[in-house]
Amino acid sequence: MPTTAPATTDGNPGLDSYYGRFTSDQEKEVLGVPLRLVTAWAHNDARGVADVFTEDGILILPGDVYKSGRDEIRAFMAAAYAGPFKGTGVTGNPVDLRFVNDTIALIRTHGGILAAGETEIDPELAVLSTWVVTKTDGQWQLAAYQNSPRGAGATLRW
C-alpha cells in the first residue's frame, strides 16, 4: 500500500520550497501524490510507482506510451528501470493546483527526469505534467498522469 506523505514541513525546508504557494493543509495533502511518485522513483520501485495510481489509472508519456491500470504501469516501469532509466530519479515542483471538488483535483508541475547521479534537469529531459488526482478511502491517488516536453530542447520520447 502507498504510504501517506508528510502533511507538515516542520524541520524540512526542502518541503516548504516544494509546496511553494500551495500551503493549505488540503493542498499539501494533494501534493503528497507527486512526492510519493518521486520517492518510489528514487528507489526505481515499479510497484511503488504503480501504487501511486488508482487501480485503473492512466499513464501517458511523449512517444507511444498509453498505459491503463496498475498492472500495465508496473510492468512498463519495471522494464524501464531495468533498461535506460536504471538509476534515474525524477523531480518537479507544482505550478498550478485546482480543486474540482473535495475529492478531485488537478495539479500541474514542472519537472523532469534526473539522469543517474544528476541533481539538475537537463533541457532534453524537461517536462510539464498534469496530474488528475482523486481521493478514495482517505487516500489521494493518480487517476491520470500525462507529461509533455517543456521547451524546444526537450527531446525525450519513451
Partner 1 sequence: MSTKASSLVGAAKNWATSYSSFTNGPKAAVLSVSLRFRAEWENNDAEAFADIFTENGSILVADEQLTGREEIREYFRKAFSGVYRGARVTEEPLEIRFLSPEKDVALAITQGGTVLDGETDLPADRESRTTWVIVKQLGEWKLLSRQSSPLAS
Among 7, 66, 86, 118, binds partner 1 (CB under 8 A): 66
The distance from CA 56 to its chain's CA centroid, rounded to whole angstroms, is 16
- The three cell numbers of residue 153 are 530542447
Q: How far is the CB of 9 from partner 1 (least distance, A)?
A: 26
Q: Cα(126)–Cα(136) distance, rounded to whole angstroms?
A: 31
Candidates 38, 58, 80, 97; binder of partner 1 (CB under 8 A) is 58
Stretch in the footprint of partner 1 (CB under 8 A) among 7-15, 32-40, 62-70, 117-125: 62-70
Q: Which stretch binds partner 1 (CB under 8 A): 10-18, 23-31, 85-93, 130-138?
A: 130-138
What is the Cα 5 distance to its own chain's centre? 13
When binding is defined by CB under 8 A, the residue of 11, 14, 63, 117 that contacts partner 1 is: 63
Got the DSSP string for 2-66? PPPPPS--TT-HHHHHHHTT--SHHHHHHTHHHHHHHHHHHTT-HHHHHHHEEEEEEEEETTTEE
Number of residues that bind partner 1 (CB under 8 A): 32
CB burial of 3-28 (b: ≥16 within 10 Å; e: otherwise) equals: eebeeeeeeeeebeebbeebeeeebb
The residue from 35, 73, 77, 128 that contacts partner 1 (CB under 8 A) is 128
Residue 71 engages partner 1 in binding (rule: CB under 8 A)? no
Contact footprint for partner 1 (CB under 8 A): 56, 58, 60-64, 66, 68, 96, 98, 100-101, 103-104, 106, 108, 128, 130, 132, 134, 143-144, 146-152, 157-158
